[in-house]
C-alpha cells in the first residue's frame, strides 16, 4: 500500500510499504478515506521529537472497515468509523475511568498510545491506504449514513474537536464565562468553538496569523492579534480590567513571539496574566519532558520559567494532558448528525495522499490559507 513516511527533519515522502493487516483477533482493518495533517505532526516533521525514520504518520483517521479479527463482536465489515487518535484497551485502570489517552496496556511502560506518533507505541499511522486498529470494538466510533456527505466534519472527531473540547473541560468553562484561548490553529479554533457551544458569554482568541484570526471572527470569537501589542493587556481591556474567567492553552512548547523566536513558557505565563483570580486554565498544547532542539538548557530538559508565584497568588488551577477522545467523540458526533455543529469550517485543503509532502511544507510554514489539510488516500 502507499503511505506517508517520515525520513528525517522536514523530509517526508509517499512510499510503497507492506499492507496494514489484522494481526490480533481483536484488530479491525480500515480502508482510510480521510486522514488529517495535525499541528502535532509538525513537532515530528520539524525534528523536535525522537520519532524513528520509517514511521508512517497520521493519527486523525476515518474510513471503512474492510476486515475484522475473529474476536471482534460489534464492528462489522462495511461500517464507516472514525478512530480516536489515542489507542485504548478499554479494560485497564485508566481506560475504565475514561482516561483513554493514558491507556496502560497499549504501550507498555508508558501511559498512552496513538497511531503514527513518537513515543506512543509501535502503531503505524493512517496517512496511508489502510490502517490497523487495535482493540477494534473499543476504538471504532461508528458513523451514521450521512457520514459520506459530512466526512470532513466527522473526521474532526479523531482529534482536534475532542481536544479543543477537552481544553474547555479542563478549564471548567461554564455558561456565562468569558474565555481566552491562546493559539488559533485547528485546536484553538475548536476550543473557541466548543466554549461557545458550552455557553460562554465572550470568547477571545489570540494568534497573529490573519487567516486564522479571520476564522476566529467567523465562529463568533473576538480575534486578538498579539503582533499589535501585549495579548494580556488586550484581554484586560476586553474584560473591564479583570481578566478572563477561564483560559485555554492550544499552542504548546513551541510557542513563539510574533517574530518567530521560541519561548516555551510564553503562552502559559500569558494565561496566568490574563485569567482572573480563582479562574482555571486548560492546557492541551503539548509540552515535553525533553527537547534536544530547545532554545536553552532549561527548555532542553523540558523545564520552564513558569510564573508560579502569580499563579498561586491568583488561586488559579490548571489541567493538562492528552485529550481522552473517547470521553467526548460520541456526543460530538451526534451534534454533527443533528446539524448543530459543523467543524469542517476550518478545512482549507482536500488533497490526495500523493500531495502530502507538499501539504506538510505549506502547513508547517503556516502559509496563509493553510488552516487544515484533509488527505484522501
Ligand atoms: N493534548 C492533545 O491531546 C493534543 C491533540 C492535538 C494537538 N495537540 C497540540 O495542540 C497544539 C496546537 O495544535 P494545532 O493543530 O492547532 O497546531 P498549529 O501549529 O496549527 O497551531 C498553533 C497556533 O499557535 C500560534 N501561536 C504560536 N505561538 C503563539 C503565541 N505565543 N501566542 C498565541 N498563538 C501562538 C501559531 O501561530 C499557530 O496558529 C500543538 O501543540 C499540538 O501538538 C494536543
Ligand atoms: Zn492531531
Ligand atoms: Zn487501557
pLDDT, tens digit, 9 for 90 and up, residues 24-35: 999 999 999 999
If DSSP codes are grouped into helix, strand and coil, which group holds residue 125?
Answer: coil
Cβ atoms 34, 347 nearer than 8 A: no
This prediction's pTM: 0.97
Q: What's the rounded Cα separation, in Å, for the pair 30 and 32?
A: 6
**What is the CATH topology of the domain spanning 2-159+324-376?**
Quinone Oxidoreductase; Chain A, domain 1 (3.90.180)
Ligand 1 atom closest to the Cα of residue 43 is 43
Residues with a beta carbon under 5 angstroms from ion ligand 3: 88-89, 92, 95, 103, 105
The ligand placed nearest to the CA atom of residue 324 is 1
Q: CA dist 312 to 14, 233, 317, 318, Å?
A: 49, 20, 9, 11
Whether 161-320 and 2-159+324-376 are alike in CATH topology: the answer is no
| 180 DSSP β-pair partners | 204, 247
For the chain, give every domain's residue range. 2-159+324-376, 161-320
Residue with cell 474567567: 245
Per-residue pLDDT averaged across 180-208, rounded? 98
Quick one: angle between helices 160-170 and 186-197, nearest 10? 60
All 3 cell numbers of residue 291? 527537547
Q: What is the pLDDT of residue 129?
A: 98
The residues, any chain, with a CB within 8 Å of residue 58's CB and separated by 6 or more, are 4, 32, 35, 36, 41, 115, 116, 125, 126, 127, 128, 131, 375
29-76 per-position pLDDT tens digit: 999 999 999 999 999 999 999 999 999 999 999 999 999 999 999 999
Return the ∠ at Cα 166 (arms to 217 and 322), rounded to 5°: 120
Per-residue pLDDT averaged across 209-229, rounded? 97
Each residue of 100-136: b (16+ CB within 10 Å) or e?
bbbbbbbbeeebbbbbbbbebbebbbbbbbbbbbbbb
Reply yes or no on domain 161-320 having CATH 3.40.50.300: no
Q: Is the pLDDT of residue 121 over 90?
A: yes
Q: How many residues does the chain have?
A: 377
Site to substitute for ligand 1 among 103, 183, 209, 263, most atoms within 8 A of C-beta: 183
Amino acid at each position: 500500500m502507499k503511505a506517508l513516511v517520515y525520513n528525517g527533519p522536514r523530509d517526508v515522502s509517499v512510499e510503497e510499504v507492506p499492507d496494514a493487516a489484522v494481526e490480533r483477533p481483536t484488530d479491525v482493518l480500515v480502508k482510510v478515506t480521510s486522514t488529517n495533517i495535525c499541528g502535532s505532526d509538525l513537532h515530528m516533521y520539524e525534528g523536535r521529537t525522537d520519532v524513528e525514520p520509517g514511521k508512517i504518520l497520521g493519527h486523525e483517521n476515518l474510513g471503512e472497515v474492510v476486515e475484522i479479527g475473529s474476536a471482534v463482536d460489534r464492528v462489522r465489515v462495511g461500517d464507516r468509523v472514525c478512530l480516536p487518535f489515542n489507542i485504548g484497551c478499554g479494560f485497564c485502570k485508566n481506560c475504565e475511568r475514561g482516561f483513554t489517552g493514558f491507556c496502560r496496556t497499549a504501550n507498555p511502560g508508558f501511559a498512552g498510545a496513538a497511531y503514527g506518533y513518537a513515543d506512543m507505541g509501535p502503531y503505524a499511522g493512517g496517512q496511508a491506504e489502510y490502517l490497523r486498529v487495535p482493540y477494534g470494538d473499543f476504538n471504532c466510533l461508528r458513523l451514521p449514513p450521512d457520514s459520506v456527505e459530512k466526512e470532513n466534519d466527522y473526521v474532526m472527531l479523531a482529534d482536534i474537536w475532542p481536544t479543543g473540547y477537552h481544553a474547555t473541560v479542563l478549564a471548567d468553562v461554564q455558561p456565562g464565562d468569558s474565555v481566552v484561548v491562546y493559539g488559533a490553529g485547528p485546536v484553538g479554533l475548536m476550543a473557541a468553538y466548543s466554549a461557545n457551544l458550552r455557553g460562554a458569554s465572550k470568547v477571545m482568541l489570540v494568534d497573529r496569523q490573519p487567516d486564522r484570526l479571520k476564522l476566529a471572527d467567523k465562529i463568533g470569537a473576538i480575534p486578538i492579534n498579539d503582533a499589535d501589542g501585549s495579548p494580556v493587556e488586550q484581554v484586560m481591556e476586553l474584560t473591564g480590567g479583570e481578566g478572563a474567567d477561564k483560559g485555554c492553552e492550544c499552542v504548546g512548547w513551541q510557542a513563539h513571539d510574533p517574530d518567530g523566536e521560541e519561548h516555551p513558557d510564553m503562552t502559559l505565563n500569558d494565561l496566568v496574566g490574563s485569567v482572573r483570580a480563582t479562574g482555571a486554565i486548560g492546557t492541551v498544547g503539548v509540552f515535553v519532558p525533553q527537547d534536544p532542539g530547545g532554545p536553552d538548557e532549561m527548555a532542553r530538559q523540558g523545564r520552564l520559567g513558569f510564573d508560579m508565584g502569580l499563579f498561586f497568588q491568583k488561586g488559579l488551577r490548571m489541567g493538562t494532558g492528552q485529550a481522552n477522545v473517547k470521553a467526548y467523540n460520541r456526543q460530538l458526533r451526534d451534534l454533527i448528525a443533528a446539524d448543530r455543529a459543523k467543524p469542517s469550517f476550518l478545512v482549507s485543503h482536500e488533497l490526495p495522499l500523493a500531495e502530502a509532502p507538499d501539504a506538510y511544507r505549506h502547513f508547517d510554514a503556516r502559509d496563509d490559507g493553510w488552516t487544515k489539510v484533509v488527505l484522501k488516500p
